[in-house]
Amino acid sequence: MPLKPKEPETETGKQARQQYLEHAQRITGEAGLDYATLYQRFAQNDWAAIKLDDAIALSALRAGYSPKEVVGILHQSPYLQYQVHANSPFNVCRQ
């Protein structure tokens, strides 16, 4: 079964996800990359996900985002999203 990302619940989360995706598109060189595909590639690939997050953090800082804004953007990392939602006791109880 393919992995599916959880959708952000707030407008701030949606904006952060879009910012994460835009940086990921620039870094990977894939302008047409969507978040679902990004999630499939990076959610369970520790090494690649960490490298992508490192590059996105640096890219966002260089683009003028504050450290606090960068943390908000990184909350939408496919790897972080997967770890939080897949390992949440709330999800385990529902299965």
Q: Which residues are within 8 A (CB) of 85 and not within 5 positions of it... i.e. 6 or more apart?
A: 6, 91
In this prediction, residue 92 carries a pLDDT of 46
What digits encode the pLDDT tens for the residues 19-43?
999 999 999 999 999 999 999 999 9
Helices (H), 1-95: 11-28, 35-42, 46-62, 67-74, 78-86, 89-94
Is 5 within 8 Å of 35 (Cβ atoms)? yes
What digits encode the pLDDT tens for the residues 65-88?
999 999 999 999 999 999 888 776
Whole-structure pTM value: 0.87
In this prediction, residue 95 carries a pLDDT of 40
